[in-house]
A and B are shown apart, each in its own frame.
Chain A
Amino acid sequence: MKAYNFGSGFRAHMPKAIAAALVLGMATSGALAGDAPKDGVYADHIDWGVIMDLSGPTSSSQGVWTKGLQDYMAMLNENGGVGGRTVNVLAEDGRFNAANDKIAFDKLVSQTPVIALSGFGTSATQVALASEIRDGAVPVIGTYTPTKALSEPTSKMVYNGFCGYKQMADAGVGYMVEKLGLKNPKVMTVAIETAGGKDYADYVAAAVAKYGGTASSTTMKIAAVDVTPQVQQILAEKPDFITIYGIENTAILTMKTMQQYGLDTPGFGITYLGTKSVYNALGAEAGGNYSFISCFTPGGADESDGNKAMVSFADKAGHGDLASNINYVAGWVAGMTAETALKKVDGDLTRASLVSAIEGGFTVDPEGLAAPIVYTPEDHTGPQVLKMFGYDYAKETFVSYGDYADYEKYTK
């Protein structure tokens, strides 16, 4: 084999070429501009990751949440971004599959790196990735679903962005028991078969026990299209009220089938199930028995500054029909949380500096879209103050039952 001869001319210019390459490399890597590309931070923008189900059975809620966050970031960017950088949202589709979420997670950690992550709407994914996230370098700020596995004990890497199941159970059960004037209430949880569903049913049972009552639960597949057996169980057990955990179809199927069987047992859904599409699908009769517990105020339900700004921008972005969707509001508030966290960093923005800046705690002001969200070093629960909402079919708007402050007694 013949060796290739670079020649004397190449040797003479090699030192200059190496120097030029080094300078070019430093410039493109951003080192000269103070960037940290490995952390998703560039001279003009910051990459922020989202892992959610943008297709599949849960996309009707998680896709809307993602649009809420993206729209908030778009508004933020219009107003100058954070520290002169715009925030670029890299949204990955998990398709309700923990394996897909794992691939997306690895991609956003190392291949197309991001400063932080939000979302993780699939509870099974949170359970599967909990240790990797807690021991890793990328903080998760603004989770869509709060599972015990990821949230407990409190970690400097995880900040919940949605009402906790415990708070939903405590506030919802407390309100219903008081409203219906129950002693020793009998409550049934209807839930889809997920880790979060099991957590929620346990929290409801604990909340009911505080009133000396009894709780039971029944489950269904996430893609269930027939809930007759579950309604038979409700018929047999005759609970005072039911509570529903799942996706929109879970609430629609359960309440609709109960109506078919002439059951007028009141029910309340978790926050995710507070959408106009659920109420429209149920109609006034079945919808009259249905309410939902939420830490977020749907768009158009009040005149707060945050609510008006969100509705206005959603209209502008062509998402006006989504503003009343509680998932959109939650995504919007997650965007607020991300902005607040980023603004806590003094000096160079990196994953490490972000984690360091927020681990001492920070407070998000959702401007009326929710009660202030306070993160302390010991408590990353996220939104904790909730209230019950219903729907006014005549006015086609959500109605809130009381103020957030009225419900603090249930969650304290």
Chain B
Amino acid sequence: MFAQVLFSGFALGSIYGLVALGFAVVFKATQVFNFAQGALAVCGAYFAVTAISILGLPFPLAILAMLAASALLGVIIHMTLIQPLSGRSMLAIIMVTIALSIVIRAVIEIIYGPQGRVLSTPLPTGVFIVGDLRMPKLHLTAAATSWVCMAAFGAFFRFTRVGLLMRATADRHEAAMAAGVNVNLMNRLAWAIGSVLAGIGGLFLGQLQIVSTELETIGLLALPAVVIGGLQSIPGAIVGGLLVGMIEQFSSSYISPKSTDIAIYGFLLLILLFRPWGLLGDQETGRV
């Protein structure tokens, strides 16, 4: 039982980590606490439904279409909602992301109806059985893809010129502007990446479960994940996602399915009380 729960926690936690990474990228670049990150994951799942089930595109093409649509959505959100509010209070921007999440949910229900949809892809199904441990191939694929994405974006930020410019913009906004960096372009790129990562998470969540607007509740687990890991920390988002997945699976399996919210948000409260900068975040210090 322990190994089984550990495996499930790792597989789901990897997806949460991916969505949380998207959140952290956006926050680090634009200081926007994006409450619509869960809704962006839902959008990714519905883009996949549209491309695969409705348009009947070949799977590789459908995935490319889904990624492009997610990226475009991120850019549009930044251009139309976030950039015009530049310089406004954090509260105003947070309210915008909450409103955006509600609007996205309503629009999806109008277009696709309230019923959930099943996403069928050619991704491997079946299960590896090792002793009492059952490892669904789909979970392994989701976890592996999540880690590949996280590694790829990690390398992108570390080793590419654009990645370095994005980090520079995030760390020293004014200095980047003074150095001639197109800050708005960098921020748009951050939103596109955040939206794509959420979309990939949504694709796997929809494939593992069912595509519905309720996926947003899973996508929103990115929020406690990044706070636990450290708001400004990219590795922290991944670790936070994994921890949230583990806590969720262990509490529901060993205590009760109803206990997951208590366990996740209880742990979040402990972190905020004793290490408010998160497990891997940097403690902000100020002169008194």
- What residues of chain A have their CB less than 8 Å away from a CB belonging to chain B? 55-57, 59-60, 193, 218-220, 223-230, 232-233, 235-236, 248-249, 252-253, 256-257, 259-263, 277, 280-281, 283
A253 to chain B, nearest CB (A): 6
Residues of A within 8 A of B127 (CB): 260-262
Residues of B within 8 A of A227 (CB): 209
Residues of B within 8 A of A59 (CB): 114-115
Residues of B within 8 A of A56 (CB): 114
B257 touches A218 (CB 8 A): yes
A260 touches B114 (CB 8 A): no
Q: Does B126 contact A (CB under 8 A)?
A: yes
Distance, CA A280 to CA B274, complexed state (A): 50
Distance, CA A263 to CA B118, complexed state (A): 19
Q: Does B121 contact A (CB under 8 A)?
A: no
**B230-258: which residues lie under 8 A (CB-CB) from chain A?**
249, 252-253, 257-258
B contact residues, total (Cβ < 8 Å): 33
Q: Does B96 contact A (CB under 8 A)?
A: no
Distance, CA A229 to CA B254, complexed state (A): 9
Residues of A within 8 A of B163 (CB): none
| Given A232-B8, A262-B127, A262-B136: 14 more A-B contacts, CB < 8 Å | A55-B114, A57-B214, A59-B114, A59-B115, A220-B257, A228-B8, A229-B252, A229-B260, A232-B4, A236-B1, A248-B116, A249-B116, A259-B125, A261-B136
A233 touches B209 (CB 8 A): no
A232 touches B209 (CB 8 A): no
Distance, CA A193 to CA B214, complexed state (A): 16
- Nearest-neighbor residue (CB-CB) of A236 within chain B: B1
B134 touches A281 (CB 8 A): no
Residues of B within 8 A of A256 (CB): 118, 209-210
Q: A229-B257, A262-B134 are in contact. Are A277 and B115 (CB under 8 A)?
A: yes
A253 touches B4 (CB 8 A): no
B4 touches A235 (CB 8 A): yes
Which of B4, B5, B114, B257: most chain A Cβ within 10 A?
A: B257
B136 touches A260 (CB 8 A): yes
A58 to chain B, nearest CB (A): 9
Q: A232-B5, A252-B118 are in contact. Are A225 and B257 (CB under 8 A)?
A: no
**B2-29: which residues lie under 8 A (CB-CB) from chain A?**
4-5, 8, 12
Distance, CA A257 to CA B205, complexed state (A): 12
Distance, CA A218 to CA B127, complexed state (A): 24
B115 touches A60 (CB 8 A): yes
Instruction: Give 1 or 0 for each of B126-153: 1 = CB within 8 Å of chain A CB.
Output: 1101000010101100000000000000
